[in-house]
């Protein structure tokens, strides 16, 4: 059986959540998993059916993923397979037996190794140089480091394209916090592509521990333990290694985890974690404009806890971050409007939303894996009949997954993410991946291994069949 322990049960259309993997619910889960596979297949096939001219407008040869179809293997292949097998064999047992703190740390450590392995299947050199290209963050570090104050003051002006000093693509597409992070790394002696790549990958991998903490705090330790193996082999790890979005995912996850603690704590502990949550989430929106959507997950946390008091400390703390950037010369809304302009000055102007509106969801399915999509199918049935507080129940996980799905849909409908969402949406999809723990909750180890096998098989297939654009 899966991890056992506390946690009240409620009904899933007449069935306890403990038996969520039986009867009609298992058919629903398998139906959603099959639907995800069909969606991905359609997203791959349709561009070929519509011809070369249409495919050129996608600017993604391996649509719906941003890369090119090219079978390959490399130094990360063997470690990736070894990690996959190890998690299949021992992951469920360790999830049940390890002290929770060690389990959370191990989950992040394994996710780091998994990401590093997947990210080096195409070679160490591609991993090491990924963030150093002409369109990447590190390209702008020397100029920004020479005068950080001027870089921040002039940041919004330099976002639009076709200026002599326009920012590179990735710097222009994000608030200044992202660039300042790499400037900071350089100043403490961790400059260059290798350190930047390792930093981003490690920060992203830390999200596993943060999510487990949040799920245990709001739900039960039992359901959190069920999530651990699935987070350890998160299929989206391929796009974590490396990308700035992995770093953003880590910051956002810890911000939500801190908010969860603040929502259930009292006194000074609640105040301290509320401030920490505000600072982290406030910093997050200066790393990535899209992290404003983390507000949906933050509200979900407060709804689960039925406690809005953390807003009294989190909001002022976040406003401190906003004020600091404003005093330095950067106003977030100016940057956002500049990004919208820059976005449609480039390839987004002709990338068809008629394809990417649903193709994005296929790409997201590749990042979360079929098990996570199957779990999404269970969420409405879990939450619909629920009438009492979600706090301290396994159903809290379903609510968190629902909040993450809302973030994905909001990002998709914005039409500001046409392609590359398998990477861009990492701060959202890693939470959805945790939902796969619902499929194992109070079920056999064989069930866990079956869904884990589907996760790692999909990740290994995509990694070795698609060469991600540098």
Residue 196 lies in a domain: yes
Residue 140 lies in a domain: no
Q: What stretch of H or E contains 15?
A: strand 15-16
Residue 167 lies in a domain: no
- pLDDT for position 397: 97
Tens of pLDDT, residue by residue over 33-47, are 999 999 999 999 999
Residue 403 lies in a domain: yes
DSSP strand pairing (11-12 vs 15-16): antiparallel
Beta pairing partners, 456: none
Distance, in Å, from the CA atom of 453 to the CA atom of 463, rounded to the nearest integer, reads: 15
Residue 168 lies in a domain: no
The answer to whether the CB of 332 falls within 8 A of the CB of 175 is yes
The half-sphere exposure of 337 on its side-chain side, counting CA atoms within 13 A, is 5
pLDDT band at 382 (very low <50, low <70, confident <90, very high): confident
Describe the crossing of helices 445-465 and 221-232 by its angle, rounded to 10 degrees: 30
Residue 155 lies in a domain: no
Residue 19 lies in a domain: no
DSSP strand pairing (15-16 vs 67-69): unpaired
Number of domain units in the chain: 1
Beta pairing partners, 68: 467
- pLDDT for position 22: 57
Distance, in Å, from the CA atom of 466 to the CA atom of 72, rounded to the nearest integer, reads: 8
Tens of pLDDT, residue by residue over 24-35, are 788 899 999 999
- pLDDT for position 436: 98
Which 8-state DSSP code applies to residue 67? E
pTM: 0.95
pLDDT beyond 80 at 175: yes
Distance, in Å, from the CA atom of 284 to the CA atom of 417, rounded to the nearest integer, reads: 18
Sign of torsion, CA 213 79 97 33?
positive
- pLDDT for position 3: 55
pLDDT band at 4 (very low <50, low <70, confident <90, very high): very low
On the 0-12 / 13-18 / 19+ scale of CB atoms within 10 A, 354 is exposed
Distance, in Å, from the CA atom of 198 to the CA atom of 375, rounded to the nearest integer, reads: 31
The half-sphere exposure of 310 on its side-chain side, counting CA atoms within 13 A, is 35
Residue 160 lies in a domain: no
Task: Give the rounded percent of residues in the chain with a pLDDT score beyond 90.
Answer: 91
State the residue range of the domain holding 235: 24-122+189-468
Reference 319, options 296, 289, 288, 285; nearest CA is 285
Mean pLDDT, the chain, as a whole number?
A: 94
The half-sphere exposure of 315 on its side-chain side, counting CA atoms within 13 A, is 7
Phi-psi region of 161 (alpha: psi -120 to 50; beta: other; left: phi over 0): beta
- pLDDT for position 173: 97
Distance, in Å, from the CA atom of 161 to the CA atom of 230, rounded to the nearest integer, reads: 41
Tens of pLDDT, residue by residue over 302-345, are 999 999 999 999 999 999 999 999 999 999 999 999 999 999 99
């Amino acid at each position: 059986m899966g991890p056992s322990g506390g946690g009240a049960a409620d009904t899933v259309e007449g069935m306890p959540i403990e038996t969520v993997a039986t009867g009609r619910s298992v058919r629903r889960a398998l139906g959603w998993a099959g639907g995800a596979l069909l969606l991905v297949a359609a997203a791959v096939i349709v561009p070929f059916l519509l011809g070369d001219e249409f495919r050129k407008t996608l600017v993604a040869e391996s649509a719906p993923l941003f890369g090119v179809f090219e079978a390959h293997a490399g130094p990360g292949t063997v470690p990736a397979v070894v990690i996959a097998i190890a998690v299949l064999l021992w992951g469920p047992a360790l999830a049940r037996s390890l002290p929770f703190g060690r389990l959370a740390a191990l989950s992040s450590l394994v996710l780091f190794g998994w990401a590093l392995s997947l990210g080096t299947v195409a070679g160490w050199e591609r991993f090491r140089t990924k963030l150093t290209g002409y369109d990447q963050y590190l390209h702008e570090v020397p100029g920004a480091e020479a005068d950080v104050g001027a870089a921040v003051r002039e940041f919004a002006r330099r976002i639009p394209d076709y200026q002599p000093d326009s920012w590179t693509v990735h710097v222009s597409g994000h608030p200044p916090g992202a660039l300042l992070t790499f400037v900071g790394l350089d100043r403490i002696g961790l400059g260059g592509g290798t350190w930047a790549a390792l930093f981003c990958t490690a920060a992203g991998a830390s999200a596993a521990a943060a999510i487990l903490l949040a799920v245990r705090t709001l739900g039960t330790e039992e359901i959190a333990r069920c999530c651990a193996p699935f987070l350890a082999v998160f299929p989206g790890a391929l796009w974590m290694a490396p990308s700035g979005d992995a770093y953003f995912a880590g910051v956002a996850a810890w911000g939500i985890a801190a908010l969860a603690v603040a929502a259930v704590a009292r006194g000074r502990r609640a105040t301290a974690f509320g401030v920490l949550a505000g600072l982290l989430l406030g910093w997050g929106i200066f790393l990535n404009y899209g992290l404003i959507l983390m507000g949906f997950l933050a509200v979900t946390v407060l709804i689960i806890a039925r406690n809005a008091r953390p807003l009294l400390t989190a909001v002022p703390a976040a406003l401190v971050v906003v004020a600091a950037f404003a005093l330095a010369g950067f106003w977030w809304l100016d940057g956002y409007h500049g990004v919208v302009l820059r976005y449609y000055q480039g390839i987004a102007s002709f990338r068809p939303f008629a394809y990417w509106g649903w193709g994005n969801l296929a790409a997201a399915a590749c990042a979360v894996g079929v098990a996570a999509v199957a779990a999404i199918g269970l969420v409405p049935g879990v939450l619909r009949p629920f009438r009492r507080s979600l706090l301290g129940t396994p159903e809290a996980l379903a609510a968190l997954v629902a909040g993450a799905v809302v973030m994905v849909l909001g990002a998709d409908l914005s039409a500001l993410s046409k392609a590359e969402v398998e990477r861009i949406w990492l701060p959202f999809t890693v939470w959805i991946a945790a939902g796969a723990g619902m499929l194992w909750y109070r079920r056999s180890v064989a069930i866990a291994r079956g869904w884990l096998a589907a996760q790692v098989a999909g990740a290994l297939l995509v990694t070795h069949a698609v060469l991600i654009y540098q």
